[in-house]
Structure 1
Amino acid sequence: MSLPWAVAQLGWIAGPAVIFLFSFITYYTSTLLAACYRLGNPIIGEQNYPYMDVVRSILGGTKAKICGLLQYLNLFGVAIGWTVAFSVSMMAIDRSNCFHKKNNNSLYNKSSNSYIIAFGVIEIILSQIPIFDQLWWLHIVITIMSFTYATIGLALSIARVAENGKFKGSFTGISIDTVTQTQKVWRIFQALGNIAFAYSYSIEIQDMSKSPPSEAKTMKNATLVSVVVTTIFYMLYGCMGYAAFGDMAPGNLLAGFGFFNPCWLVDIANASIAIHLLRTYQVYTRPLFGFIEDYAERRFEHSPFVTKEIEISVLGFRPYKLKVFKLIWRTIFVILTTGISMLLPFFNDVVGLLGALGFWPLAVYFPVEMYIAQMKIPKWSTKWLCLQMLSVACLIITIATAAGSIAGVVLDLKSYKPFRTRY
């Protein structure tokens, strides 16, 4: 949703080029990671399922702990991002209805806090469902939701371009007349983070492939197809959104209220996003939930607080066994992400910061270092130097994007008062 805004900051030349660059980096480093799936021999070597196990097997325990910390911090941050995104979509529906009733968008003055709290309450309930990730029909519903809002956003952008009769925008992006020179620099960095977030992923290995061919080959082929399809859609979405609005491209294409009509179609798109995020929050947080709960059971295996279960009768079903520790820990986690989201409800700033913090360490540094160690690439050789240059370049981009996003948060906080300002 933030790609049109990101392209607007970069312009017609740098915008598509950066999207393509991140797609190439994502594909390439994914192939490096795939080569490390089996330790030693790529066909008969020992398999490594969790990402941390791969790092531990190849780079040692210390780096595995750092990797795990970064992984789970990224998951925590993404949970905050999804909470903010949900409130943004719900407010867009509310704002749309307000506009069509009063024919004046400026009359809308409502805080996002109520929607953030509602999202938190729902997630507390969903987090206690033990087989949430095994509900096959839910995956189908969410996939439909994803295609629905994405297709609507693209179609509305194309329709707006046809209505305008031209492509808006410029080769250099948002003009200095619209923002100051300093703001433009920070926005460019922030845009890089938004694009990085679109390509970043919380890496985990789920072995559902059969061999032969080798799992590494299957992973590479699957990654190539997914990255190509994703990049084509990202290009269309980012560029058509920019062509439709130019410098005025909203931070969230469907929730920035660039589209007023047809209101029912925009509402369907935002409702699809909201439903999608309800499940996505669970997908991203389950690994973190499981890690903490497994550690607690190992560390305090004789503690009644950790092991005690409460049976809850469910009409027509077997009694549901609920662990007290699980209930309290997951509830505290959701409350924490909800509270932070209310403090920092800034969509593009949060997305840019998450993209910056998650992209280099998880998607570039560790795959590069593991590949070098796995393939025993000689130090200072041409290939070693190229891989290190790629890693350093991505580190520089990460630092720049993090700085831009932090600057955006600081700027927003000057006019935003937590729990009081209507945002």
Structure 2
Amino acid sequence: MEKEESFSLEKGDANLELDDDGKPRRTGTWITASAHIITAVVGSGVLSLTWCLAQLGWVVGTTFLVVFAAISWFTCIMLADCYRSSLNGARNYNYMQAVKTNLGGLKYRFCGIAQYQTLVGVSIGYTITSSISMAAIKRSNCFHKYGHDKECHTLNTQYLIIFACIEIILSQIPDFHKLSFVSIVATIMSFAYSSIGIGLSIAKIAGGAHPNTSLWIPSRTDISKMDQMWNTFCAIGDIAFAYSFCAVLIEIQDTLKSSPPENKVMKTATTIGISASTSFYMLCGLLGYAAFGNDAPGNYLTGFGYYDPFWLIDIGNLCIVIHLIGAYQVIVQPIFAFVENWNRKKWPESEFANKRYTIGRFTINPFRLVWRTTYVILATLVAMIFPFFNDFLALIGSTTFWPLSVYFPIEMYISQAKVRRNSFTWIWLRLLSFVCLLVSLLAAVGSIRGLVVSVKTFKLFRSAS
């Protein structure tokens, strides 16, 4: 039987030298942390950025990309200092624990709701995106074989099931310590499909594409002013989703070696991760908008703005699937760890919760097997019920960007640094938080409205690409 009191996600073998908290020595570096961040950041959000630019125009769209990147970087730098307690240097193993240490119980509960809503929502979003990319591979080959005029629609359900089966197996990876290789592969894949999208956009522009683009928010004639307004809000939510990785930042930081100090290494990794991600976001979004203009598809590798070369489209979508397989695990590990640690504390004598069985090179825990399998199945069922790419991503981004990426980091910084109330720093930090709250609320309204409209015409379990 084994007892584990820590919420830590980074564990090694028992014979390794111990860290200052009595846990096996952590081995993470700025390289692995950067890989985890890029894996978490450059996900399905990049695929919708061309559509976002088409709703916002050159100036507004680019401004939101830069502003969200700057805010995410700034608040993550503050959040990195919350890994250790300012009083005694004790580690906070996860985001919720950092909030509890710095802000107390009530905000701790609010944080738990916001964080796990984010992680659950992102895992569902990744499931939706992966199935669409799998279906896009089949559609691409269909278009190549029968011509671009053929509809080539295919149901997504079978691909959702395939993705779920893969994640059920990978979900038995016990913790973040075992995910470094998965994250590195996923990072390579994210750069690969982003590069393919950039290359295809450049080729389309060089081929003489001259679509209609707008300097400011486009004035459309194909939809009503009200619909255009909702699409604008939804696009803002999509951009917010593209930077929603703060929920796992503390967990990633808990994988780092103690020397040099974790906060310094994490700040370096955060700067590298957000800089690299933003560079790709700008290239994908701006070049994609230049290639497609105001008629850009919702997902620029699966919406078939591109048809040829079909094999390159297939490779790009395959890279998306491989990346999201790994990104899914980075996102759900905190959920798994929280439930499993709570379960072990609640029933420390339970063999079902604590006993492990060795089968060859693999170690199986009955509770972990049942719980993680159940989670993947439930997330997949929700993805089948609400398979709406842009609106779903916008809802996740709009409802979680403010609390996790802005509010809690700012509040913890004010508490740790003992910022004097009504001082200049206190006022502008609170003003930043308030403005981000307003933007998030507008984006949430737009995404909810989009989901309501989509559900009216949707047939349950009959999602098609």
For Structure 1 versus Structure 2, the TM-score category normalised by the shorter chain is over 0.9
The alignment partner of 2:364 has SS state of: strand
What secondary structure, in the 3-state scheme, does the structure 1 residue paired with 2:207 have?
A: helix
| Identity in percent | 46
**Cα distance in structure 1, aligned partners of 2:150 and 2:457:** 18
Rounded Cα–Cα distance in structure 1 between residues aligned with 2:327 and 2:268: 25
Corresponding residue for residue 340 of structure 1: 382
* Distance in 1 separating the partners of 2:217 and 2:57: 3
1:9 maps to amino acid: Q
| 1:199 counterpart SS class | coil
Match of 2:248 among 187, 197, 203: 203
Describe how 1:357-372 pairs up with structure 2 within 5 A: 357-372=399-414
- Following superposition, the deviation at residue 209 of structure 1 comes to 5.1
Q: Which residue of 1 aligns with 2:277?
A: 230
Structure 2 counterpart of 1:285, from 309, 332, 351: 332
Say yes or no: does 1:128 pair with 2:207.
no
Pair 130,368 (structure 1): closer, same or farther in 2 beyond 3 Å: closer
Structure 2 counterpart SS, 1:306: helix
User: In structure 1, what is the Cα distance between the partners aligned to 2:342 and 2:91?
Assistant: 23
Aligned with residue 121 of structure 2, among 63, 77, 83: 77
Q: What is the Cα deviation at residue 151 of structure 1?
A: 0.4
Match of 1:275 among 319, 322, 338: 322
Equivalent in the alignment of 1:3: 49
The 3-state SS of whatever aligns with 1:422 is coil
Does the 8 A contact of 1:168 with 1:242 survive in 2? no
Stretch of structure 1 that moved more, 26-35 or 241-250: 26-35
Would the alpha carbon gap of residues 243 and 173 (structure 1) be closer, same or farther in structure 2, given more than 3 Å must change? farther
1:18-417 aligned within 5 A = 18-40=64-86, 45-130=89-174, 134=178, 136-164=180-208, 166=210, 168-201=212-245, 202-205=247-250, 206-207=253-254, 208=256, 210-211=258-259, 215-312=262-359, 317-318=360-361, 320-417=362-459
The Cα shift of 1:47 comes to 3.8
Say if 1:82 and 1:281, in contact at 8 Å, map to a contact too: yes
After TM superposition, the structure 1 stretch with the greater mean CA deviation from structure 2, 74-83 or 378-387, is 378-387
Q: Distance in 1 between matches of 2:76 and 2:213?
A: 33
Task: Give 2:417's aligned amino acid.
Answer: M
Alignment partners' CA distance in 2, 1:223 and 1:167: 36
Separation in structure 1 between the aligned mates of residue 181 and residue 275 of structure 2, nearest angstrom? 27
Q: What residue ranges of structure 1 are gaps of 5+ in the alignment?
A: none
Which amino acid in structure 2 is aligned with residue 195 of structure 1?
I
CA distance in 1, matches of 2:80, 2:264: 8
User: For residues 300 and 211 of structure 1, do their structure 2 counterparts lie closer, same or farther at Cα, with a shift above 3 Å needed?
Assistant: closer
Query: In 2, Cα distance between the equivalents of 1:39 and 1:358?
Result: 25
8 Å Cα contact 2:213-2:289 kept in structure 1: yes
**Equivalent residues of 2:172, 2:369 under 8 A apart:** yes
Q: Which residue of the partner structure matches residue 38 of structure 2?
A: none
1:167: Cα distance to partner? 6.3
Change (3 A) 1:204 1:138: closer
How far residue 69 of structure 1 moved from its aligned partner, in angstroms, is 2.5
Alpha-carbon spacing, 1:21–1:413, altered in 2? closer, same or farther (3 Å): same
1:266 maps to amino acid:
I
Residues 75 and 285, structure 1, Cα contact 8 Å, conserved in 2:
yes
Question: What is the letter of the counterpart of residue 57 of structure 2?
Answer: G
Report if aligned partners of 2:384, 2:463 keep a CA contact under 8 Å in 1.
no
Compute the TM-score of the two structures, normalised by the length of structure 2.
Answer: 0.84
1:14 aligns with 2:56: no
Contact kept, 8 Å, 2:419 with 2:426, in 1: the verdict is yes
CA RMSD of aligned residues (A): 2.0
Give 1:166 deviation, angstroms: 4.1
Counterpart CA distance in 1 for 2:287 and 2:320 is 19
CA–CA distance in structure 1, aligned partners of residues 176 and 273 of structure 2 = 25
Contact kept, 8 Å, 2:395 with 2:448, in 1: the verdict is yes
Residue type matched to 1:397 in 2? V
CA distance in 2, matches of 1:382, 1:290: 40
Q: How big is each residue's C-alpha offset from its partner over 1:16-47, in whole Å with a ceiling of 9 and x where there is no partner?
A: 01101101111111222233333337xx8444
For this pair of structures, how many residues does the alignment match? 415
**Cα deviation, residue 185, structure 1:** 0.7
8 Å Cα contact 1:95/1:105 also seen in 2? no
Q: Is the 8 A contact 2:50 2:285 kept in 1?
A: yes
Maintained 8 Å contact 1:2/1:348: yes
What residue is the counterpart of 2:42 in the other structure?
none
SS at match of 2:248: coil
Structure 1 residue 216: Cα displacement = 3.6
Per the TM alignment, residue 421 of structure 1 is displaced from its structure 2 partner at its CA by 5.2
Quote how far apart the aligned CAs of 1:347 are.
0.7
**CA offsets 1:186-211 (integer angstroms, 9 cap, x no match):** 11111111111111112332242555
CA deviation string 1:220-255 (max 9, x = no partner): 343333323322221111111011001111111111
Provide the secondary structure at the position in 2 that maps to 1:302. Answer: coil
User: In 2, are the aligned partners of 1:360 and 1:398 still within 8 Å (CA)?
Assistant: yes
Q: Match for 1:204: what amino acid?
A: L
Aligned-pair distance for 1:324?
A: 1.9
**Following TM superposition, by how much is the alpha carbon of 1:105 offset from its aligned partner in structure 2, in angstroms?**
4.6
Q: CA deviation at 1:77?
A: 0.7
CA distance in 2, matches of 1:307, 1:34: 32
